[in-house]
Structure 1
Amino acid sequence: MNSIERNINDLASDDGVVRDRARKALVAAQGHEVVHALIAELVDPRKRVRWEAAKALADIGSPVAALPLVHAMTDEDDEVAWLAAEGVASLGEPGLLAVFSGITRDCHSLEYCKVAHHSLKEFRKIGNHVEVIDKVKKALEGVEPKLSAPIAAYRALQELKLDMAAK
């Protein structure tokens, strides 16, 4: 068993110090293999492992993790979902594209709408694309976010892609 596998296994430890050490070692190692191993752990049946994987992916900041973190925003555990929402915000534009895309597909529950709103608040703190973000946030805050947010997110996605292409 190599060090990546050992650290991934340690994310399930009952000992918080062992989990923390393992997560920090994975973050320090970074790299393609680590990111993909952590992405696989986002669907582990144990909440603790999913949380640790989301935290490590957020700390690594690889754009490859954007869509998997958006998917983790649908996690049945609120702590994992909210951590994924914050983690994807740390990825900048690739994360924002992924969140808008996720809203177009996954806004079927009010709980997901709340998590997506939380993520957009985190993006807004960064200060880029504020006007586009605010349009989607407003839709998520409206009377029927499950209906209005996907449309607003689709429009925002198109606007953001145009902005990025113009640069």
Structure 2
Amino acid sequence: MKTEKITKEEASIIQNSLDNLCSDNGLRRKEARKSLVEIGSSSIPLVMDLLDSPKHIFRWEALKVIAEIGSPESIPILLEALVDESGDFRWIASEGLVRIGKSTVKPLLKLILDKHDSVFVLNGAHHIFSELSTKKLLPDNFPTEEMLDQLKVSGNPSKLKVLVHKTLEVLKISE
């Protein structure tokens, strides 16, 4: 993951914020999250370590920071969270992917191909594409209505896979 170089002051703020992100105090965690989001993508590699925490709340806070930063570099992390067993993780991930915008489209389409049998992925993709459409952040040639329809109807995975392949090809040509 490419990151920005951080200053000593930012490193100190990040370390303090990471300590507070692991606090039992909700207000401390909220302030820590806010500080880490303000620092931006340079805090992501350090926050990522918390994604492996055995404590749900620490994982939740780390994912929330990553999603709120909204860096395209975090797309793989957020896509992975779309298949998490926890519904709130999947929601945070989908909101983060919406925040990132157009850069989300191709990786999400590729995830659909890999996990076309996952209700979590299909529901998340439906939400993400719907929100990106509302915000006019989908590519002009994106088959929005057809894609949303196919994501709702999980009964015909081969039709969905054909549509995703076709869409990826069209997006590749239009670059």
**What's the TM-score once normalised by structure 2's chain length?**
0.80
Aligned ranges 1:53-72 → 2 under 5 Å: 53-72=62-81
Identity score, percent: 26
Q: How much has 1:91 moved relative to structure 2?
A: 0.8
Out of 78, 99, 102, the residue aligned to residue 90 of structure 1 is: 99
Q: CA deviation at 1:13?
A: 2.2
Q: Which amino acid aligns with 1:5?
A: Q
Q: Which 4+ residue blocks in structure 1 deviate beyond 4 angstroms?
A: none
Corresponding residue for residue 135 of structure 2: 126
Contact persistence 1:47–1:80 (CA under 8 A)? no
The one-letter amino acid of 1:81's match is: R
**Matched letter for residue 112 of structure 1:** V
Aligned to 1:161: 172
1:45-95 per-residue CA deviation (whole Å, 9 max, x = no partner) reads 333223222222222221101121111111111011011011111111211
* Deviations 1:114-166 (CA, angstroms, capped at 9, x unpaired): 12212222211221336433332221112425444343223222222322x1x
Query: Equivalent of 1:142, from 144, 149, 153?
Result: 153
In structure 2, stretches of 5+ residues that fail to align are 1-10
Unpaired stretches in structure 1, ≥5 consecutive residues = none
Larger radius of gyration, structure 1 or 2?
A: 2
Cα root mean square deviation, aligned: 2.3
Cα contact 2:21–2:33 (8 A) shared by 1? yes
Does the CA contact (< 8 Å) of 2:82 and 2:120 recur in 1?
A: no
- Write the letter of the residue equivalent to 1:62: S
Aligned residues: 163
Give TM-score scaled by structure 1 length: 0.83
